[in-house]
Protein backbone atom coordinates (compact mmCIF):
# COMPACT_ATOMS: atom_id res chain seq x y z
CA UNK A 1 0.00 0.00 0.00
CA UNK A 2 1.14 3.50 -0.77
CA UNK A 3 2.40 5.44 2.22
CA UNK A 4 -0.29 7.48 3.96
CA UNK A 5 0.34 10.60 5.99
CA UNK A 6 -0.93 8.91 9.17
CA UNK A 7 1.50 6.04 8.69
CA UNK A 8 4.38 8.40 7.88
CA UNK A 9 3.70 10.33 11.08
CA UNK A 10 3.60 7.14 13.11
CA UNK A 11 6.88 5.87 11.65
CA UNK A 12 8.73 9.17 12.08
CA UNK A 13 7.45 9.62 15.64
CA UNK A 14 8.89 6.20 16.52
CA UNK A 15 12.42 7.24 15.56
CA UNK A 16 12.61 11.01 15.75
CA UNK A 17 12.18 13.39 18.69
CA UNK A 18 14.30 16.42 17.72
CA UNK A 19 11.81 19.26 17.13
CA UNK A 20 14.03 20.69 14.35
CA UNK A 21 13.82 17.44 12.45
CA UNK A 22 10.05 17.39 12.87
CA UNK A 23 9.84 20.95 11.54
CA UNK A 24 12.05 19.91 8.61
CA UNK A 25 9.77 16.91 7.95
CA UNK A 26 6.77 19.24 7.94
CA UNK A 27 8.48 21.71 5.60
CA UNK A 28 9.38 18.97 3.13
CA UNK A 29 5.85 17.55 3.39
CA UNK A 30 4.38 20.94 2.44
CA UNK A 31 6.80 21.39 -0.46
CA UNK A 32 6.03 17.90 -1.76
CA UNK A 33 2.30 18.62 -1.70
CA UNK A 34 2.92 21.76 -3.74
CA UNK A 35 5.15 19.90 -6.20
CA UNK A 36 2.46 17.24 -6.60
CA UNK A 37 -0.02 19.99 -7.49
CA UNK A 38 2.56 21.57 -9.79
CA UNK A 39 2.92 18.25 -11.63
CA UNK A 40 -0.87 17.91 -11.94
CA UNK A 41 -1.35 15.06 -9.48
CA UNK A 42 -4.83 14.22 -8.13
CA UNK A 43 -5.66 14.96 -4.45
CA UNK A 44 -4.83 11.45 -3.17
CA UNK A 45 -1.39 11.70 -4.74
CA UNK A 46 -0.89 15.14 -3.18
CA UNK A 47 -1.26 13.49 0.23
CA UNK A 48 0.94 10.58 -0.84
CA UNK A 49 3.77 12.86 -2.02
CA UNK A 50 3.44 14.79 1.26
CA UNK A 51 3.68 11.55 3.25
CA UNK A 52 6.88 10.51 1.46
CA UNK A 53 8.27 13.99 2.13
CA UNK A 54 7.36 13.77 5.81
CA UNK A 55 9.15 10.44 6.25
CA UNK A 56 12.23 11.09 4.08
CA UNK A 57 14.74 11.53 6.96
CA UNK A 58 13.45 8.46 8.81
CA UNK A 59 16.87 7.25 10.01
CA UNK A 60 18.68 10.58 10.35
CA UNK A 61 18.30 11.18 14.09
CA UNK A 62 19.60 7.72 14.99
CA UNK A 63 22.28 7.51 12.29
CA UNK A 64 23.41 10.99 11.22
CA UNK A 65 26.73 9.57 10.03
CA UNK A 66 25.08 6.68 8.20
CA UNK A 67 22.07 8.53 6.83
CA UNK A 68 19.88 6.39 4.54
CA UNK A 69 21.82 3.23 5.34
CA UNK A 70 19.20 2.16 7.88
CA UNK A 71 16.12 3.05 5.89
CA UNK A 72 15.56 0.40 3.23
CA UNK A 73 15.42 -2.78 5.35
CA UNK A 74 13.53 -1.16 8.22
CA UNK A 75 10.86 0.53 6.14
CA UNK A 76 10.32 -2.55 3.97
CA UNK A 77 9.90 -4.56 7.19
CA UNK A 78 7.34 -1.96 8.33
CA UNK A 79 5.39 -2.65 5.14
CA UNK A 80 6.18 0.58 3.30
CA UNK A 81 5.92 0.21 -0.49
CA UNK A 82 9.20 -0.52 -2.27
CA UNK A 83 8.56 2.43 -4.59
CA UNK A 84 8.19 4.80 -1.65
CA UNK A 85 11.32 3.42 0.01
CA UNK A 86 13.22 3.90 -3.24
CA UNK A 87 11.96 7.48 -3.47
CA UNK A 88 13.24 8.19 0.03
CA UNK A 89 16.66 6.68 -0.78
CA UNK A 90 16.97 8.80 -3.93
CA UNK A 91 17.08 12.08 -2.02
CA UNK A 92 20.60 11.06 -1.04
CA UNK A 93 21.72 10.84 -4.68
CA UNK A 94 25.31 12.03 -4.98
CA UNK A 95 25.31 12.90 -1.26
CA UNK A 96 25.09 9.61 0.61
CA UNK A 97 24.34 7.06 -2.12
CA UNK A 98 24.07 6.60 -5.87
CA UNK A 99 20.30 6.06 -6.10
CA UNK A 100 19.36 8.37 -8.98
CA UNK A 101 16.05 10.23 -9.12
CA UNK A 102 13.79 8.66 -11.76
CA UNK A 103 10.29 10.08 -11.24
CA UNK A 104 8.71 13.49 -10.71
CA UNK A 105 8.11 12.53 -7.07
CA UNK A 106 11.77 11.61 -6.58
CA UNK A 107 13.06 14.71 -8.35
CA UNK A 108 10.72 16.86 -6.28
CA UNK A 109 11.92 15.29 -3.03
CA UNK A 110 15.53 15.96 -3.96
CA UNK A 111 14.66 19.58 -4.65
CA UNK A 112 12.44 20.07 -1.60
CA UNK A 113 14.91 18.65 0.91
CA UNK A 114 17.59 21.32 0.54
CA UNK A 115 15.54 24.21 -0.81
CA UNK A 116 12.94 24.05 1.99
CA UNK A 117 15.75 24.72 4.48
CA UNK A 118 16.75 27.94 2.74
CA UNK A 119 13.14 29.11 2.40
CA UNK A 120 12.49 28.31 6.06
CA UNK A 121 15.59 30.18 7.24
CA UNK A 122 14.68 33.20 5.09
CA UNK A 123 11.09 33.28 6.41
CA UNK A 124 12.17 32.76 10.02
CA UNK A 125 14.01 36.10 10.12
CA UNK A 126 11.04 38.13 8.99
CA UNK A 127 8.51 39.72 11.36
CA UNK A 128 5.84 38.66 8.90
CA UNK A 129 7.12 35.09 8.69
CA UNK A 130 6.28 33.29 5.46
CA UNK A 131 3.00 35.17 4.92
CA UNK A 132 4.39 37.64 2.38
CA UNK A 133 7.74 36.07 1.57
CA UNK A 134 8.61 36.51 -2.09
CA UNK A 135 10.86 34.29 -4.19
CA UNK A 136 13.16 37.21 -4.97
CA UNK A 137 14.10 37.71 -1.30
CA UNK A 138 14.96 34.03 -1.06
CA UNK A 139 17.07 34.33 -4.22
CA UNK A 140 18.94 37.19 -2.52
CA UNK A 141 19.60 34.93 0.48
CA UNK A 142 20.69 32.16 -1.89
CA UNK A 143 23.37 34.48 -3.26
CA UNK A 144 24.57 35.45 0.22
CA UNK A 145 26.91 32.55 0.93
CA UNK A 146 27.07 33.37 4.64
CA UNK A 147 23.30 33.09 5.08
CA UNK A 148 22.17 29.60 6.13
CA UNK A 149 25.56 28.32 5.08
CA UNK A 150 24.45 24.75 5.84
CA UNK A 151 22.07 24.82 2.87
CA UNK A 152 24.23 23.56 0.03
CA UNK A 153 23.79 25.91 -2.95
CA UNK A 154 25.00 23.32 -5.47
CA UNK A 155 22.46 20.78 -4.21
CA UNK A 156 19.72 23.45 -4.38
CA UNK A 157 20.74 24.30 -7.96
CA UNK A 158 20.75 20.63 -8.94
CA UNK A 159 17.31 20.14 -7.34
CA UNK A 160 15.71 23.01 -9.25
CA UNK A 161 17.26 21.72 -12.46
CA UNK A 162 15.88 18.24 -11.78
CA UNK A 163 12.31 19.52 -11.48
CA UNK A 164 12.79 21.64 -14.59
CA UNK A 165 12.30 25.02 -12.92
CA UNK A 166 14.47 28.07 -12.56
CA UNK A 167 15.38 28.97 -9.01
CA UNK A 168 12.65 31.61 -8.39
CA UNK A 169 9.96 29.25 -9.72
CA UNK A 170 11.15 26.35 -7.55
CA UNK A 171 11.21 28.70 -4.54
CA UNK A 172 7.66 29.84 -5.34
CA UNK A 173 6.47 26.22 -5.24
CA UNK A 174 8.13 25.70 -1.85
CA UNK A 175 6.70 28.92 -0.37
CA UNK A 176 3.25 27.93 -1.56
CA UNK A 177 3.62 24.46 -0.02
CA UNK A 178 5.04 25.63 3.31
CA UNK A 179 2.53 28.42 4.00
CA UNK A 180 -0.30 26.17 5.29
CA UNK A 181 2.03 24.76 7.96
CA UNK A 182 3.39 28.09 9.24
CA UNK A 183 1.91 27.52 12.70
CA UNK A 184 3.76 24.19 13.06
CA UNK A 185 7.05 25.46 11.70
CA UNK A 186 7.41 28.79 13.50
CA UNK A 187 6.71 30.91 10.44
CA UNK A 188 3.58 32.80 11.51
CA UNK A 189 3.81 36.61 11.59
CA UNK A 190 5.39 37.46 14.96
CA UNK A 191 2.55 39.77 16.00
CA UNK A 192 0.12 36.88 15.88
CA UNK A 193 2.12 34.91 18.43
CA UNK A 194 1.00 35.13 22.07
FE1 LIG B 1 15.88 16.12 4.73
Distance 190 CA to ligand 1 centre (A): 26
Distance 57 CA to ligand 1 centre (A): 5
What angle, 0 to 180 degrees and rounded to 10, lies between the N-to-C axes of helices 43-55 and 104-124?
70
What backbone phi and psi angles, to 5 degrees, belong to 168?
Answer: -60, -35
Taking the C-alpha atoms of residue 8 and residue 3, their distance in angstroms, rounded to an integer, is 7
Distance 193 CA to ligand 1 centre (A): 27
Distance 82 CA to ligand 1 centre (A): 19
Kindly indicate whether the domain formed by 5-182 is annotated with CATH number 1.10.3210.
yes
Distance 175 CA to ligand 1 centre (A): 17
pLDDT value at residue 1: 83
Sketch the domain layout of the chain as residue ranges: 5-182
Distance 113 CA to ligand 1 centre (A): 5
DSSP calls for 78-127:
TT--HHHHHHHHGGGBTTTB-----SHHHHHHHHHHHHHHHHHHHHHTST
Q: Tell whether the model's pLDDT for residue 49 goes beyond 60.
A: yes
Distance 24 CA to ligand 1 centre (A): 7
Over residues 79-127, the pLDDT tens digits come to 999 999 999 999 999 999 999 999 999 999 999 999 999 999 999 999 9
> What is the three-class DSSP state of 177?
helix
| Contact assessment for residue 52 and residue 63, using Cβ atoms and an 8 Å cutoff | no
* pLDDT level of residue 59 (50, 70, 90 thresholds): very high
Over residues 133-172, the pLDDT tens digits come to 999 999 999 999 999 999 999 999 999 999 999 999 999 9
In this structure, which residues have their CB less than 5 angstroms from ion ligand 1? 57, 113
Taking the C-alpha atoms of residue 167 and residue 93, their distance in angstroms, rounded to an integer, is 20
Distance 28 CA to ligand 1 centre (A): 7
| Contact assessment for residue 153 and residue 142, using Cβ atoms and an 8 Å cutoff | yes
Distance 100 CA to ligand 1 centre (A): 16
Q: What is the mean pLDDT of the chain?
A: 96
Distance 137 CA to ligand 1 centre (A): 22
pLDDT value at residue 193: 54
Please calculate the CA angle 167-42-48 and round it to the nearest 5 degrees: 75
Taking the C-alpha atoms of residue 138 and residue 17, their distance in angstroms, rounded to an integer, is 29
pLDDT value at residue 190: 87
Taking the C-alpha atoms of residue 180 and residue 145, their distance in angstroms, rounded to an integer, is 28
Over residues 64-78, the pLDDT tens digits come to 999 999 999 999 999
Distance 92 CA to ligand 1 centre (A): 9
Taking the C-alpha atoms of residue 33 and residue 153, their distance in angstroms, rounded to an integer, is 23
Amino acid sequence: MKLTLARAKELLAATTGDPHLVVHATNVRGCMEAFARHFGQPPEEVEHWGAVGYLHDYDYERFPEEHLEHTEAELLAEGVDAADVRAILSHGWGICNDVTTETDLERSLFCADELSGLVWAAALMRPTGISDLEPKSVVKKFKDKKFAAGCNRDVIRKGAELVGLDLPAAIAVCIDGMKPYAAETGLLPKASLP
